Homo-oligomer: A and B are copies of this chain.
Amino acid sequence: MRLTTLNTGKPDGQLAVVSDDGARLLTSPDWPTLQGALEDWSRAETQLSALQARLCAGEGEALAPDQLLAPLPRAWQWLDGSAFRSHGELMERLFGTEPKPPERPLMYQGMSHAFIGPHADVVLPREEDGIDFEGEFGVITDFVPMGVSADEAMKHIRLVIQINDWSLRNLAGAEMKTGFGWVQAKPACSVAPFAVTPDTLGETWRDGRVHLPLVVDWNGKRFGAPSGSLMGFGFHELIAHAAATRDLCAGTIIGSGTISNPDYRDVGSTCIAERRAIEMLDEGAVRTGYVAFGDTVRMEALLPDGGLLFGAIDQRVVASARI
């Protein structure tokens, strides 16, 4: 099942179930928002699946891509991991930071009051901040009790999503050095239009990981397509880490961190910082600049048969008019 949220002018939009080809949708007056559905998931899933069956039978109204918001346009909690070890190692070399212990997941709490829709402009104040994209997969949970085990946590993964975690690299180092994590360096993330139930991924959902490449294009040119399979921790382990001392509310989003593979010279990267680190290692100097205003970034993961999965994030970065 594939869920999306339509722009109705309300902050949480209108939940809709989408046909397998992404062309049609159906809504239910009983489930106006995805947040509401996640708070009562077993009932919601049954009723939304019935809409899914009607879509399979050919019902539904036409879906217009420009009416789509992020599946959760805002969330009560967004916790982003950094679970790809090859990314971490490259970042440590680029920024000269200390190696992180591999036995514990890395995770920070990020801004969750606004997620940017897949085709909306990304409004940022300054190019000089070092604008970068970060391609990630993520999951959305229902309510998770404090102290959950990783095994139990797997059952709380209700939806899988695809994220662009925008980062301002020239602000990140100073914030990281404080130990307090990022505020200024991590503005709102973008999210692909469709949140999918794990069964939609078929065999490509295993061990709490998405075993598919995320294809990233920057200004229409292929930038990388590493696989989500090589997470050092699965999403179920990230959830257990997050829930060690707190309940997680329904609608908590957990991110994988920047997708990265050790054969980065072949598969490319999902963020510019990583490419810059590779250039530094290989050529002794950085060649690639960060994102300029007007640039476009596209990210999409497809099923092995080329079938639609999360849909594409495809958008432009623009200057804030105010600053």
Contact = CB atoms under 8 A, between A and B. Distances in A.
Interface of A: 74, 76-77, 79, 82, 97-98, 100-101, 104, 106-114, 123-125, 129, 145-147, 168, 171, 174, 176-185, 187-188, 241-242, 244-247, 249, 252, 320, 322-323
A322 B180 contact: no
24 contacts: A74-B249, A76-B76, A76-B113, A77-B111, A97-B179, A106-B180, A107-B180, A111-B246, A113-B252, A114-B249, A146-B320, A147-B323, A171-B244, A176-B179, A176-B180, A177-B179, A179-B179, A180-B181, A183-B241, A184-B241, A184-B245, A185-B245, A187-B245, A187-B246
The copy count of this chain in the complex is 2
A320 B77 contact: no
A153 to B, nearest CB: 14
A104 B241 CA distance: 30
A293 to B, nearest CB: 14
A181 B181 contact: yes
A125 B124 CA distance: 40
Given A146-B125, A146-B323, A180 B108 contact: yes
B125 A82 contact: no
Main secondary structure of the interface of A (DSSP, over half): loop
Given A114-B246, A123-B146, A188-B246, 7 more contacts: A74-B249, A76-B113, A77-B112, A77-B113, A108-B181, A109-B183, A187-B246
Contacts of A246: 111, 114, 187-188
Nearest to A113: B76
A299 to B, nearest CB: 21
Closest 6 CB pairs of A and B: A181-B181, A76-B113, A176-B179, A108-B180, A147-B323, A113-B249
Nearest to A112: B76
A125 B187 contact: no
A100 B178 contact: yes
A109 B109 contact: yes
